[in-house]
């Protein structure tokens, strides 16, 4: 069934070809030049919007057959486009393009198959260029490379562990327990970003009700697989007003990733090599002990005396250690190699890349390796049909260590918190590690013996076909089909040999997970552009979409493992779990775009969607969108004097977020005894009439640019309402159930985004490009039908999230002497970033990214753990009103106030800074350019937050971000770059 529409369309399009009309044509040639006189390669030459044209070659030259008296448009990214009138007696043209400083002519995706120039756009669509993404101080993974770069987004690294793991929220929290992460579309392929747990909960017991897996298992994001070096640009549709046409998965926004393509001309070979190192951003330090402090670790006087003596003995033997440094103070080396080839001719172009990076971690035996191959080919079969293929194979492997919350004292941070500096944990002459008498594990032994690996093989393949079905003077009809598959297998392998201290009763644990995920999607659309007159043009598009997913995870937990073995059958006990999910979403869409004088653009579209995850899988839900932009300078209302461009705009749209898989069933879990299979009712009650949550977004704003575009401002206000948001209602547990997914209430986000782009200095010697973005978001729960309870953390005593009508959705509440009060909010007061690129003589480039997150709170339990263990660096300081040691004082707050644990996590970071020098005139002619660079990533952070990094989330990517329980410490990177182009 699924394949029929594509087949049908191909048949139809074939039927059309004979009907295609060719007017009387003349050949023209020309050259497209930049303001400095050099040819612009890859500029597009076309007759009108949407029609197939051609592109310029290496020297900026082109050749095209056009109807006589046609109007030809020349455009290239970064330049203002120009139109010329072709006359029969002039066969050759030279076109000089002006630089588009305010990016007015940048083409932005607005539909599933249609685009519009930024100057006519009704939404704010953030764009990240490849330089911004990967050209300042490259991050380890793609998710890390987005941090601090998207206006309107809250992007937070969950952990410093190799392989990434990041929370991305666009324009506020859009769901409570539904998916909050945006949809990622890579060259038309909807790619999967499921975080799959490696089953560490079976060892850590971090969440001792959820079995082998929990949201505290610190998995990586699958988006991390994509090599940032292959990316040409990223566009972000932040909410429903822009993203509605993407349907069921777009409620949290869409991140559209476009990879590099080849250009006609000589084959370009580029090789780059990075070398660098990774260190912990910050270590907390350890408590300076003395005999009396050592003695106070035990309340038992005899034991206290013994501890005091132990300290003195260790001190005189010179055996006082900084275990935090021994565990987290390792320097990881990094290397990253990329080879790319691109080129082609006017009909076929290609881009090929092969890359490998290998990076160590700040904990020994942790690290990240990623190898990827990409092949992008574009081919014009004839003047009417163009196809494209993007193929990407990725092999990645992340060794992530054992960190974060746990309930057995096995995690590195928890063990360190309880280990004083005067105990001996180093191995003896035979390599045997002593048991840690202060905690349930010896962290040095844990680092040396345990492994936690995630290995991925992934194949993402995208296809693209565009065919002109009909062409006349006024009308142009195209078929555009795109889609692809995303397949990966993920093997998780966590090994805990039996000689580990905390394996005393399990006698060795081997946890092996195997996940296969297969996603497909296609978008088949017809686009008709109708130029009714010079002043009016209509673009109509309609089509069908479908997305499917099939996820299968098998997790084996073996305990009592035979010494030295890792296979799960080499064990005394084995338990297995399997989780499968499947979905199919189908949609129909239609969109109409009206452009009047190329100045007023009105867009209206609708999408009908159904999903197998909905209570009623057959029912279609409608999601409309509309937008209007009015360019005042273009329409002649404002003279072209002071303002280069002035536009007002407004947009509206709806999108939905499907319920979590399985939320409509009341199922029975397996619960066996003595070899008899047992069924025990699940604690989650099914809701047969569960519906998608619906998001409605309205945004309005204006864009101004002055001084020939050298200074521009974008201002946007938005309001986003999420109706019937999905939430797990906590049922009275006497019902036998503790939770149920329900459509629980309404939620609103309002926010402001301001962006300034400027080129303050533009001389022959120096150019300075800068952009400053400011954004803030406020959420409010406007309706809640279910009782409000603390959730997403450890309860009121230590600070907790709580959805309450009339309150911010991300508020943090907790105990106070006067009852339960609000102590904070995960939402920052505002965020601000600034990109800067200062270039001297086109050779030396200094680029940096500053990110300021003002306010916002975390629940910081890392320092609390250190207080519990009596090992905090500031335990003995006395700054409190009671005059007792601060550590004691903080512990006394437990049970009476949560204020101590809800801490401001604001920061100002110099996230990335890089200095690059390019040699373009080289004695060796074979080498076209040679570039050197050095960069620092995450080197400067100004914050008052008392843990490893204010950017942390122990509970993963969901609603309750910002809980800090002994994470893998955040890292900083220093890298040397060398790249050559042939």
Partner 1 sequence: MKRIILYTGMGLVLIANLTGCKKDYGNLNSPTVESFLANASASQLNNLVSGTESGMRNSLALYLDDVSTLGREGYHFSAAEPRYVTDLLGANDAVLSNSNFYITRPWASRYQVVKNCNLLAAAATRSTLITAAQKSGYIGFARTIKAYQLLLNLNLTDTNGIRIDVVNPDQLGGFVSYNDALTAIMAILDSAKTDFAGADIAFQLSNGFAGFNDAAGLLKLNRALAARVAVYSQQWATALTDLSVSFFNLNGDLSLGVSHVFSAGSGDQLNTVFIPQNQFGEVRAVHPSYTTDILAGDDRIAKATLRNAPVSQSGLTGYRDLWVYTSSTAPIPIIRNEELILLYAEAKIQATQYPDAIVALNRIRTAHNLPAYSGAVTKDALLAEMLYERRYSLFYEGHRWVDLRRYNLLGQLPIDRSGDDVWSAFPLPVSEQP
Binding characters for partner 1, 589-618, by CB under 8 A (x = yes): ---------------------x-x----xx
When the beta carbons of 530 and 702 are compared against partner 1, the nearer one is 530
- How far is the C-alpha of 429 from the C-alpha of 308, rounded, in Å? 27
Q: Please return the burial class of 188, using the count of CB atoms within 10 Å of its CB with bins 0-12, 13-18 and 19+.
A: buried
When the beta carbons of 68 and 681 are compared against partner 1, the nearer one is 681
- How far is the C-alpha of 717 from the C-alpha of 702, rounded, in Å? 9
Helix (H) or strand (E) holding 834: strand 830-840
CB 86 within 8 A of CB 28: yes
The token duo for 460 is 């993402």
Radius of gyration of the chain (CA): 30
Residues in the chain: 982
Q: How many residues bind partner 1 (CB under 8 A)?
A: 112
Choice from 75, 436, 769, 872 touching partner 1 (CB under 8 A): 436
When the beta carbons of 478 and 973 are compared against partner 1, the nearer one is 478
Residues 800-859 that bind partner 1 (CB under 8 A): none
Under rule CB under 8 A, residue 581 binds partner 1: yes
Choice from 347, 426, 535, 580 touching partner 1 (CB under 8 A): 580
List alpha helices for 536-628, DSSP H.
none
Give me the least distance between CB of 14 and partner 1, in Å please: 11
CB-based contacts of 944, cutoff 8 Å, min separation 6? 904, 906
Give me the least distance between CB of 751 and partner 1, in Å please: 32
Choice from 136, 254, 297, 523 touching partner 1 (CB under 8 A): 297
**E-strand stretches of 367-441:** 367-382, 385-399
Q: What angle do CA 577, 578, 583 make, to 5 degrees?
A: 155
CB-based contacts of 258, cutoff 8 Å, min separation 6? 187, 231, 232, 233, 234, 235
Choice from 583, 741, 801, 835 touching partner 1 (CB under 8 A): 583
Under rule CB under 8 A, residue 899 binds partner 1: no
Q: Give me the sign of the Cα torsion angle 86, 92, 94, 97.
A: positive
CB 857 within 8 A of CB 902: yes
- How far is the C-alpha of 807 from the C-alpha of 783, rounded, in Å? 10
Tokens 């330089």, residue? 131
- How far is the C-alpha of 804 from the C-alpha of 794, rounded, in Å? 17
**E-strand stretches of 53-181:** 54-55, 61-67, 71-75, 82-85, 92-96, 107-109, 115-117, 125-129, 153-157, 166-170
Choice from 381, 670, 840, 878 touching partner 1 (CB under 8 A): 670
When the beta carbons of 309 and 475 are compared against partner 1, the nearer one is 475
Nearest to 695, CA basis, from 735, 744, 665, 657: 657
When the beta carbons of 665 and 919 are compared against partner 1, the nearer one is 665
Binding characters for partner 1, 337-376, by CB under 8 A (x = yes): ----------------------------------------
Choice from 738, 836, 880, 918 touching partner 1 (CB under 8 A): 738
Under rule CB under 8 A, residue 114 binds partner 1: no
Choice from 464, 643, 665, 982 touching partner 1 (CB under 8 A): 665
Choice from 69, 578, 805, 920 touching partner 1 (CB under 8 A): 578
Helix (H) or strand (E) holding 243: helix 240-243
Residues 192-211 that bind partner 1 (CB under 8 A): 208-209
- How far is the C-alpha of 475 from the C-alpha of 479, rounded, in Å? 14
The stretch near partner 1 (CB under 8 A) out of 127-135, 372-380, 511-519, 543-551 is 543-551
Choice from 524, 555, 651, 915 touching partner 1 (CB under 8 A): 524
Pairing of strands 739-762, 684-685: parallel
Choice from 24, 533, 676, 879 touching partner 1 (CB under 8 A): 676
The stretch near partner 1 (CB under 8 A) out of 448-456, 630-638, 652-660, 736-744 is 736-744
Residues 694-733 that bind partner 1 (CB under 8 A): 730-733
When the beta carbons of 303 and 319 are compared against partner 1, the nearer one is 303
Residues 387-416 that bind partner 1 (CB under 8 A): 405-409, 414-415
Residues 472-491 that bind partner 1 (CB under 8 A): 475, 477
When the beta carbons of 299 and 921 are compared against partner 1, the nearer one is 299
Under rule CB under 8 A, residue 17 binds partner 1: no
Residues 301-320 that bind partner 1 (CB under 8 A): 302-303
Binding characters for partner 1, 863-892, by CB under 8 A (x = yes): --x--xx----------------------x
Give me the least distance between CB of 487 and partner 1, in Å please: 19
Give me the least distance between CB of 12 and partner 1, in Å please: 4
């Amino acid at each position: 069934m699924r394949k029929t529409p594509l087949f049908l369309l191909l048949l139809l399009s074939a039927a059309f070809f004979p009907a295609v009309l060719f007017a009387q044509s003349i050949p023209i040639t020309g050259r497209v030049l930049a303001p400095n006189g050099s040819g612009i390669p890859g500029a597009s030459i076309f007759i009108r919007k949407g029609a197939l044209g051609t592109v310029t070659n290496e020297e900026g030259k082109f050749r095209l057959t056009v109807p006589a008296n046609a109007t030809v448009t020349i455009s290239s990214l970064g330049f203002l486009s120009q139109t010329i009138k072709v006359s029969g007696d002039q066969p050759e043209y030279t076109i000089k393009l002006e630089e588009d400083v305010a990016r007015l002519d940048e083409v932005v995706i607005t539909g599933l198959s249609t685009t519009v120039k930024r100057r006519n756009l009704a939404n704010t669509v953030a764009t990240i260029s490849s330089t911004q993404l990967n050209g300042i101080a490259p991050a380890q993974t793609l998710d890390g490379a987005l941090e601090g770069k998207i206006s309107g987004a809250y992007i937070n690294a969950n952990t410093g562990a190799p392989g990434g793991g990041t929370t991305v929220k666009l324009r506020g929290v859009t769901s409570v327990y539904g998916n909050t992460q945006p949809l990622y579309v890579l060259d038309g392929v909807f790619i999967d970003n499921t975080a799959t747990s490696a089953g560490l909960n079976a060892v850590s017991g971090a969440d001792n009700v959820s079995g082998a897996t929990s949201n505290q298992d610190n998995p990586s994001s699958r988006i991390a697989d994509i090599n940032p070096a292959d990316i040409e640009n990223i566009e972000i549709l932040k909410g429903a007003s822009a993203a509605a046409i993407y349907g069921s998965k777009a409620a949290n926004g869409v991140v559209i990733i476009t990879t590099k393509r080849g250009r006609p001309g000589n084959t370009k070979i580029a090789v780059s090599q990075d070398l660098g190192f990774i260190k912990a951003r910050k270590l907390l330090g350890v408590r300076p002990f003395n005999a009396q402090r050592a003695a106070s670790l035990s309340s038992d006087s005899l034991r206290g005396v013994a501890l005091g003596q132990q300290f003195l003995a260790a001190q005189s033997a010179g055996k006082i250690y900084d275990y935090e440094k021994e565990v987290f103070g390792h320097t990881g080396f990094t290397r990253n190699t990329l080879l790319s080839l691109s080129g082609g001719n006017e009909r076929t172009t290609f881009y090929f890349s092969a890359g490998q990076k290998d990076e160590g971690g700040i904990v020994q035996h942790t690290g990240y390796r990623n190898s990827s191959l990409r092949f992008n080919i574009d081919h014009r079969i004839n003047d009417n049909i163009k196809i494209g293929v993007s193929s990407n194979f990725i092999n990645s492997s992340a060794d992530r260590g054992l960190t974060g919350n746990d309930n057995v004292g096995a995690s590195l941070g928890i063990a360190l918190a309880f280990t004083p500096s005067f105990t001996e944990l180093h191995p003896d002459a035979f390599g045997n590690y002593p048991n840690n008498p202060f905690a349930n594990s010896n962290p040095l032994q844990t680092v040396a013996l345990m492994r936690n690996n995630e290995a991925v093989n992934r194949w993402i393949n995208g296809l693209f076909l565009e065919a002109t079905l009909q062409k006349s003077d006024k009308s142009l009809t195209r078929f555009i089909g795109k889609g692809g598959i995303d397949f990966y297998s993920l093997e998780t392998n966590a090994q805990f040999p039996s000689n580990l201290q905390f394996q005393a009763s399990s006698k060795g644990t081997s946890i092996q997970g195997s996940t296969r995920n297969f996603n497909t999607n296609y978008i088949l659309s017809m686009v008709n552009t109708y130029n009714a007159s010079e002043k009016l043009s209509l673009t109509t598009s309609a089509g069908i979409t479908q997305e499917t997913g099939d996820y299968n995870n098998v997790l084996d937990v073996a305990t009592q493992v035979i010494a030295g073995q890792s296979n799960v059958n080499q064990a005394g006990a084995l338990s297995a779990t399997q989780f499968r999910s499947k979905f199919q979403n189908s949609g129909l869409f239609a969109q109409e775009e009206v452009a009047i004088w190329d100045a007023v653009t009105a867009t209206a579209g609708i999408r009908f969607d159904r999903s197998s995850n909905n209570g009623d899988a057959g029912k279609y839900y409608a999601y409309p969108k509309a937008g209007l932009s009015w360019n005042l300078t273009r329409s002649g209302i404002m003279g072209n004097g002071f303002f280069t461009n002035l536009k007002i705009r407004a947009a509206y749209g709806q999108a939905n977020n499907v319920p979590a898989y399985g939320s409509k069933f009341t199922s029975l879990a397996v619960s066996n005894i003595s070899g008899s299979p047992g069924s025990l009712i699940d604690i989650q009650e099914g809701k047969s009439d569960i519906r998608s949550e619906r998001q409605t977004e309205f945004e309005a704003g204006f864009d101004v640019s002055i001084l020939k575009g050298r200074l521009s401002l974008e201002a946007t206000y938005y309001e986003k309402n999420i109706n019937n948001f999905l939430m797990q209602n906590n049922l009275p547990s006497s019902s036998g159930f503790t939770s149920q997914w329900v459509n629980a209430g309404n939620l609103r986000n309002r926010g402001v985004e301001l962006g300034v782009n400027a080129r303050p200095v533009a001389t022959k010697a120096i150019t300075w490009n800068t952009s400053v973005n400011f954004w803030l978001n406020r959420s409010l729960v406007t309706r809640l039908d279910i009782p409000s309870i603390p959730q997403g953390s450890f309860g009121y005593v230590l600070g907790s999230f709580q959805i309450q009508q009339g309150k911010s959705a991300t508020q943090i509440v907790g105990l106070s002497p006067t009852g339960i009060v609000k102590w904070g909010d995960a939402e920052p007061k505002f965020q601000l970033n600034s990109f800067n690129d200062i270039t001297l003589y086109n050779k030396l480039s200094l680029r940096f990214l500053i990110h300021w997150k003002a306010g916002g709170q975390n629940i910081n339990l890392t320092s609390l753990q250190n207080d519990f263990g009596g090992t905090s660096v500031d335990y003995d300081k006395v700054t409190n009103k009671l005059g007792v040691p601060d550590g004691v004082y903080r512990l006394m707050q437990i049970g009476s106030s949560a204020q101590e644990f809800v801490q401001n996590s604001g920061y100002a970071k110099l996230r990335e800074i890089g200095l690059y020098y390019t040699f373009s005139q080289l004695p060796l002619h074979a080498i076209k350019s040679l570039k050197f660079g050095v960069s620092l990533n995450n080197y400067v952070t100004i914050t008052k937050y008392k843990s490893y990094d204010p950017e942390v989330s122990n509970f993963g990517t969901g609603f309750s971000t910002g809980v800090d329980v002994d994470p893998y410490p955040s890292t900083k990177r220093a890298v040397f770059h060398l790249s050559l182009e042939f």
